Amino acid sequence: MIFMKAIVDCNSFYASCERLFKPALNGKPVVVLSNNDGCIVSRTDEAKALGIQMAGPYYQNKAEILKNNVAVFSSNYHLYGDMSKRVMDTLRLLAPEVEVYSVDESFLDLSGIDGNKLHDYAMFVKQTTELWTGIPVSVGVAPSKVLSKVANRLAKKDKLGSKGVIVLQTPQQQMEALQKTAVEDIWGVGSAGSKTLRMFNINTAWDLRNMSEAWAGKNLGGVVGVRLVKELNGIPCIEMKDPLSKKKMIATTRMFGRAVFELKELKEAVATYIARAAEKLRRQSGAAGAVSIFLVSNNNQSQYQYAPSSRSAYVALPSATYLTNVLIAYVMPLVEALYQKGSKYIKAGIILTDIVPCAMVQYNLFEKPESAASQKLMHIVDNVNFGMGTDMLKFATAGTKKNWKMRQELRSNRFTTKWDELCWVK
């Protein structure tokens, strides 16, 4: 049997989601901004051609954006999350095994498909996904994950020539693709790694492929380096992973929409983040044994000078819990302890750790187990919030005004998840 893996990667995913419901933007430059409208996180090819940089701050690109009439959107994670699920659900029907790697890319196991039908099948995966979900994708197919990433990158770079699909099957195809790929562009090689490689005069993926495993083991961080060289040689070493359905830790961190100075507001934000994280915790039937929090302040005068300082604290709970009110009660004293009057807070976060399945919680002699009543309360809170909209029911600590909330001035409708925000047709 031939072992083959494919990676399916959505093209400019967030921007493509926006375009699907605003077809007038097809062929036009579109960018999507990060939380708080800070940086550019998704660009269409047309926006890339204008020289707008990925992760570039919005304010630095604003002149260029206005001049070229670029469509700008705040990130709409409700929409992107739903569209991502549609893409992944489609892929699950097309391949026996799918590993969701990120919000917009998945590895597919295509082992066992006849070699001369592989390209047709990859094209079929692409066309079906695009037809059903409306999201354009690129597909790279090769014997190993690293090679499939190389193929995918080349398919994306030359959409006209490749029609969005590249299969690296023969040694000749693999050689040509690797020669066209710089070491920086190999999956898993960071900027630090590529500097090391360039020092050894290894400039392309092909150069690296031809190094011995012994050399890689010595110079590229041991087993990781060996694996990389093997993968480039088409020997699969990175297997398909099971989905991370149960998370070992759950974090909620956000930048504030504007700077926060007051302790009260800070506590509201942290309590809200706890509520959100505890909701996720209950969704995976877990209980957390410890909570960490951190507060980030930036006391510089200019908003563009970014020299943040971060303070954090940690509390181990007497017994693991999933009750929002209990978590809030343990964390609020930490916020008070960390708070420094006069500081300008720009971000806060909480991390739930030591997560165990809630059936396995060990109670100690002095702690009362979660009462049936508080369990029921959580159940009701979750049901109301899922059914009627986030934060319909919440604990009073979380505040009612939320001046610090995320800035999303240019958000489009949640076309696929909210009944009153559907797309209009004439």
Task: Name the site residues for another protein (rule: CB under 8 A).
Answer: 22-26, 85-87, 89-90, 93-94, 117, 120-121, 123-124, 127-128, 131-134, 415-416, 419, 422-426
> Least distance from C-beta 25 to another protein, angstroms?
7
Q: What is the DSSP letter of 421?
A: G
> Least distance from C-beta 406 to another protein, angstroms?
26
> Least distance from C-beta 23 to another protein, angstroms?
4
Contacts of 406 (CB under 8 A, 6+ apart): 35, 36, 254, 255, 256, 257
Cβ proximity to another protein: between 25 and 177 the closer is 25
146 phi, psi to nearest 5 deg: -65, -45
> Least distance from C-beta 142 to another protein, angstroms?
20
> Least distance from C-beta 68 to another protein, angstroms?
18
CA 323 to CA 282: how far, in whole Å? Answer: 9
Q: Which residues pair with 321 in a beta bridge?
A: 288
Cβ proximity to another protein: between 97 and 239 the closer is 97
Cβ proximity to another protein: between 86 and 405 the closer is 86
Side-chain-side CA neighbours of 329 within 13 Å: the count stands at: 8
Cβ proximity to another protein: between 87 and 281 the closer is 87
> Least distance from C-beta 210 to another protein, angstroms?
36
In order, the DSSP letters of 353-366 are: EEEEEGGGPPPPTT
The residue type at 287: A
CA dihedral 75, 76, 78, 82 (to 10 degrees): -90
- Retrieve residue 391's tokens: 């934060």
Cβ proximity to another protein: between 77 and 124 the closer is 124
403 phi, psi to nearest 5 deg: -65, -20
- Retrieve residue 313's tokens: 């604290």
CA 369 to CA 338: how far, in whole Å? Answer: 30
313 phi, psi to nearest 5 deg: -150, 165
Q: Which residues pair with 7 in a beta bridge?
A: 107, 140
Cβ proximity to another protein: between 401 and 426 the closer is 426
> Least distance from C-beta 35 to another protein, angstroms?
26
CA 187 to CA 249: how far, in whole Å? Answer: 25
Cβ proximity to another protein: between 85 and 180 the closer is 85
Cβ proximity to another protein: between 86 and 180 the closer is 86
> Least distance from C-beta 20 to another protein, angstroms?
9
